[in-house]
Chains A and B, each alone.
With several copies, the nearest count.
Chain A
Amino acid sequence: MKTSKKILNDPKNVVSELIEGLSAASHGKLIKIDDVNALIKSKLPSNKVGLLIGGGSGHEPLFPGFIGENMADGAAMGNVFAAPAPDIILAATKRLDQGNGVLYVYGNYAGDNMNFDIASEMALDENINVKTVRVWDDVASAPLDKISERRGIAGDLFVIKIAGAVSSVSADLEEAYRVTAKARDHVRSMGVAVSAGSIPETGEPTFELPDDEIEIGMGLHGEPGVSREKMMSADELVERMMTKIMDDLPFRKGDEVCLLINNLGSTTFMELLIVNRKVRQVLADASVTIYDTVIGSFCTCQEMAGFSITMMKVDDELKKYYDMPANSLAFVKS
């Protein structure tokens, strides 16, 4: 098996080194917490709900790239594809609490759920209120009636965007939770992959895919999706993905949506644009209006080739928070 070539030092240090690199790129705005792999704002705006995001590493720029103005206040980072341990989450929680409590936003995976839950119990022991919004946008990962079993993929970005906005203007944990959960409930995504990423420590691809096949419903860790199909044209593929996404919420005539075409790793921007062309046609045919379009690499699985489509249905309240400017290393809205 061909192992992957990466530009690294000791693969065991990838997380601490990437935190250093990100902190350097922030020009003092983001600092690492001593002893644990968590990054937080150096200056916390006062009297706000703390917004902590996090999860396994290897999905960069998710999560730490989304810390910033009107975005998250900090990120707890696990090893590659492994949820952060409770002590990391707790350390970050303590730093972010301003007395108004801390909102956790992360992807819905067994590991993340358990570790963040353990941390929130520990936080409560220290009199810090925590509320949690788990992102479960991946329509391919469980049926709608088991929505809370779905995993979180690129929809993370929109939920974090809204959470960042509301938690910057509200000092009320309940309100921040309400709006963020509402955003989560309005988001749907689906991904596909045509080739695997690899974990830096082993260099081996996380799955094998024949040369002429595509994995439908691929998750963010290279854990397999729901089915394997023969390669097909971009247009056909998008049509199938959009049918599944639109039927799910469902998205209907007259709805307004924010659209995200997310690169899972090494897919070219050219392909993403070709995908967007078809998505646009499908939505036009369905009389769904696109409120905003975001295209790029936001939630990745190392160098996996593939992409996902995310839509968030927006109303006036969500638009208000969506429209607020935001400034982080990986997502800027002016």
Chain B
Amino acid sequence: MLTMDKTKEMFIHVSRNMVESKDILTQADKAIGDGDHGIGMARGFEAVEKKLANQDYENLSDLLASIGMTLMGSIGGAAGAVFGTFFKGGAKNLKDQKFFDIKALSIMLQDGLQAVEERGKAKPGDKTMIDALEPAKMKSIEVSSQPLVDAIENMAEAARQGMENTKDMIATTGKAKTLGERSLGHPDPGAVSMYLILKFMHEYVLKVSK
């Protein structure tokens, strides 16, 4: 369980590390997309870090919505809409939530996933960030009674596995679509991002839980 302050700190940690991941993400997008995913995510999370540094949040909903709006306004592209929608959508049912725990996280992922699916019409198996998000969401229900640090570790692992599985998928949306079978063997860049977000969340929780 994290206080609002710590939760904000967690997303600042996530932001810094997403900025650091620019090159990995760009390389992933170069393989099957247009090579700008890292640039966009770095730009977005740089903006998020700035935004969070200058503002305090009363509840989880406000924090997540603020992250979502910031990502949407600064990344642009598919990733801006998708990750913006994910955080904004995830905020929907957390208005009264004043701390961060595994239940809140599970609600965030469920609502976030639903919003992304509505916005972009992609389904699991289409080789998008959904393929990392959906297994993490499923796992969040399974691990709901574990301590946060273990639960989130398991979720990040599920996301990683989902991301790995995108290597065997043929893209049916986004810029990798026309590649057909040539998209095989490469992970989806957005799925890599989704996994990394959870991984960096876990990193932070692990640090503060020690």
Contact = CB atoms under 8 A, between A and B. Distances in A.
A and B touch in the complex (CB under 8 A): yes
Contact of A85 (B34, B74, B119, B176): B74
A118 B119 CA distance: 8
A221 B178 CA distance: 12
B78 A114 contact: yes
A221 B175 contact: yes
A270 interface: no
Interface of A: 56, 78-88, 109-111, 114-115, 117-118, 140-142, 149, 151, 199, 201-202, 204, 206-207, 217, 219, 221-226
A103 to B, nearest CB: 21
B178 A140 contact: yes
Contacts of B75: 82, 85
B178 A118 contact: no
A114 B119 contact: yes
A149 to B, nearest CB: 7
Given A79-B43, A223-B32, 4 more contacts: A56-B76, A56-B77, A82-B75, A199-B39
A219 B179 CA distance: 11
A173 to B, nearest CB: 24
B13 interface: no
B85 interface: yes
Given A82-B40, A206-B30, A206-B35, A110 B178 contact: no
Contact of B76 (A82, A110, A202, A223): A82
Nearest to B172: A149
Nearest to B36: A81
A118 B180 contact: no
Contacts of A204: 30, 35
Given A110-B120, A202-B26, A85 B174 contact: no
A82 B175 contact: no
Interface string B19-32: 00000001000101
B178 A201 contact: no
A267 B179 CA distance: 24
B81 interface: yes
Contact of A81 (B77, B82, B174): B77
B94 interface: no
A78 B75 CA distance: 9
B51 interface: no
Contacts of A206: 30, 34-35
B73 A199 contact: no
B14 interface: no
Residue among A80, A85, A141, A219 with the highest chain B CB neighbour number at 10 A: A85
10 contacts: A79-B39, A82-B36, A88-B76, A110-B173, A114-B119, A199-B36, A199-B39, A206-B35, A223-B34, A224-B182
Contacts of A141: 177-178
Nearest to A78: B76
B119 A109 contact: no
A201 B39 contact: yes
Nearest first, the 6 closest Cβ-Cβ pairs linking A and B are A82-B77, A114-B81, A111-B78, A221-B34, A223-B175, A82-B76
A84 B76 contact: yes
B178 A226 contact: yes
A115 B76 contact: yes
B24 to A, nearest CB: 13
Nearest to A56: B77
Contacts of A87: 72-73
Contacts of B180: 226
A109 B76 contact: no
Given A82-B40, A85-B72, A202-B39, A223 B178 contact: yes
Nearest to A138: B178
A111 B77 contact: yes
Interface in B74-110: 74-82, 85
Contact of B79 (A88, A111, A221, A223): A111
Contact of A78 (B26, B77, B177): B77
B38 to A, nearest CB: 9
Contacts of B182: 224
Contacts of B35: 81, 199, 202, 204, 206-207, 222
Contacts of B78: 83, 109-111, 114
Interface string B168-189: 0000011111111010000000
A140 B180 CA distance: 12
Interface string B156-174: 0000000000000000011
B76 A114 contact: no
B177 A83 contact: no
Contacts of B72: 85-87, 118
